[in-house]
């Protein structure tokens, strides 16, 4: 349909309407620009102006309430008024409800705080911060609900895990079985819980968590558990530590256990784990260690030590071995040397894992020789349940230089 504006009156009316519409559009644009500028300059004055320009915009009242409750102003009654306006305009803003809950807590209105948190939870039940606030709210009145919410927090935001563990453990009155309901049943989360407990000397609680690690889904590498094995060993519980090690062998083939051999990875065909009941090694001045695939006694590789140092006694390699008190054992190992020169040669040694009482010191290896068997028999006293096998020199005097290979080390009970 065509609009007839041929008459002067109609033309003038049309132009006036157009001018009015343009003015309105210009005013709205200016208002939007002013609001945008005020929002970017987050001060109480600017937020108040924005709220005056748009009194029905919940975000402006939320921002003003947030600024007023800050340390610069600390005007909680005014902040509460604006935040209450914000949730009246938009009742689905979990952030406004949480800010309001914090103000109610400061003002001592616990009933209003509870209602505000519940409104936030109803608005955004999967929001991490909302779940966190609700979990703390329910902690003393509905522990199971609180633990369920904490579990959701850890699942969605792993960075919250340490704090969630603390809240759950204290809320459950140190009942670890109850507190574990807040931790997802997967290996990394349960291991993190064990770390948290051991850092706080809660060893018995960590022991309760360990079986759930073994049954939880998800990858489990032995190296991730060394902190726990070291805790058991430090508590002089080698039996339990070895039981944990044996259980790990069912989940991680890197342990490379050999039937009948109490030494793990004695043939060096597996990885050097540097923990647990595997080979432990430490950088040692004068010793360069490597796995050699060109020279070996059996299998496909051996441990090679390039030695050039003064007064060397410890060559940086050792392994803890679980034994039975009063048992009789035989250590054997194959060594090969090239131009190993020193006043005193290299030996294989066995000592008590705790007291360092000596049980065996093999004949010394010196000079150049092809693969030769070293070792001997030893008996441990009734109180010994852990021994250390290592490469040493005794006495450790003077310069030693050359190359030594080790392979096929075994300890067998006789």
Residue 296 lies in a domain: yes
Do both 393 and 284 map to the same domain? Answer: yes
Do both 219 and 338 map to the same domain? Answer: no
Closest to 359 in 3D by CA, of 342, 343, 383, 334: 383
Do both 209 and 329 map to the same domain? Answer: no
In the block, residue with structure tokens 């490597």: 290
Residue 69 lies in a domain: no
Residue 140 lies in a domain: no
Per-residue pLDDT tens listing for the chain (414 residues): 454 555 666 656 555 655 555 554 444 444 444 444 444 556 777 767 776 667 778 788 888 878 888 777 778 888 888 888 888 888 888 888 888 888 888 888 888 888 888 888 888 888 888 889 888 888 888 999 999 999 999 999 988 999 999 999 999 999 999 999 999 999 999 999 999 999 999 999 999 999 999 999 989 999 999 999 999 999 999 999 999 999 999 888 888 898 999 999 999 999 999 999 999 999 999 999 999 999 999 999 999 999 999 999 999 999 999 999 999 999 999 999 999 999 999 999 999 999 999 999 999 999 999 999 999 999 999 999 999 999 999 888 999 999 999 999 999 999
Cα 43 from Cα 37, distance rounded (Å): 11
Residue 406 lies in a domain: yes
pLDDT at 17: 56
Tell me, rounded to whole angstroms, the distance of Cα 14 from its chain centroid: 71
Cα 275 from Cα 160, distance rounded (Å): 29
pLDDT at 330: 98
pLDDT at 100: 87
**pTM metric for this prediction:** 0.78
Residue 66 lies in a domain: no
Do both 287 and 343 map to the same domain? Answer: yes
Closest to 120 in 3D by CA, of 94, 96, 92, 85: 94
pLDDT at 9: 61
Q: What is the CATH number of the domain that holds 394?
A: 2.60.120.260
Do both 305 and 348 map to the same domain? Answer: yes
Do both 302 and 371 map to the same domain? Answer: yes
Q: For the chain, how many structural domains are there in total?
A: 2
Q: Where are the alpha helices (DSSP H) in 184-267?
A: 187-199, 203-215, 226-234, 238-248
Residue 366 lies in a domain: yes
Q: Which residues constitute the domain of residue 225?
A: 185-255
pLDDT at 199: 97
């Amino acid at each position: 349909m065509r609009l007839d504006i041929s008459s002067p009156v109609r033309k003038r009316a049309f132009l006036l309407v157009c001018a009015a519409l343009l003015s309105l559009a210009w005013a709205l644009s200016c208002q939007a620009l002013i609001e945008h500028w005020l929002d970017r300059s987050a001060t109480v004055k600017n937020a108040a102006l924005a709220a005056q320009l748009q009194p029905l915009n919940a975000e402006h009242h939320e921002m003003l309430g947030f600024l007023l409750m800050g340390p610069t102003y600390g005007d909680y009654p005014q902040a509460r008024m604006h935040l209450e306006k914000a949730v009246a305009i938009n009742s689905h803003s979990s952030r406004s409800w949480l800010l309001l809950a914090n103000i109610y807590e400061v003002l001592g209105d616990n009933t209003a705080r509870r209602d505000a948190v519940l409104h936030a939870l109803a608005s955004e039940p999967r929001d991490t911060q909302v779940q966190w606030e609700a979990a703390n709210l329910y902690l003393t009145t509905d522990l199971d609900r609180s633990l369920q919410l904490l579990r959701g927090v850890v699942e969605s935001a792993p960075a919250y895990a340490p704090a969630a563990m603390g809240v759950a453990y204290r809320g459950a009155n140190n009942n670890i079985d109850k507190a574990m309901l807040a931790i997802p049943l997967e290996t990394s989360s349960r291991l993190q819980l064990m770390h948290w407990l051991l850092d706080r000397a809660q060893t018995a609680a960590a022991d309760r968590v360990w079986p759930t690690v073994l049954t939880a889904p998800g990858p489990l590498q032995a190296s991730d558990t060394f902190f726990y094995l070291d805790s058991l060993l430090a508590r002089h519980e080698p039996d339990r530590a070895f039981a944990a090690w044996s259980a790990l062998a069912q989940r991680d083939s890197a342990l490379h256990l050999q039937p009948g051999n109490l030494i793990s990875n004695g043939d060096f065909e597996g990885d050097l784990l540097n923990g647990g009941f595997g080979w432990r090694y430490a950088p040692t001045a004068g010793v360069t260690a490597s796995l050699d695939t060109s020279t070996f006694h059996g299998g496909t590789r051996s441990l090679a030590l390039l030695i050039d140092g003064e007064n060397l006694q410890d060559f940086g390699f050792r392994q803890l071995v679980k034994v039975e008190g009063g048992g009789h054992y035989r250590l054997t190992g194959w060594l090969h040397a090239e131009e190993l020169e020193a006043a005193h040669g290299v030996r294989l040694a066995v000592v008590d894992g705790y007291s360092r009482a000596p049980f065996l010191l093999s004949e010394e290896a010196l000079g150049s020789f092809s693969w030769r068997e070293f070792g001997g028999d030893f008996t441990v006293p009734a109180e010994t349940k852990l021994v250390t096998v290592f490469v040493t020199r005794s006495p450790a005097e003077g310069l030693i230089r050359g190359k030594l290979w080790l392979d096929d080390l075994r300890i067998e009970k006789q």
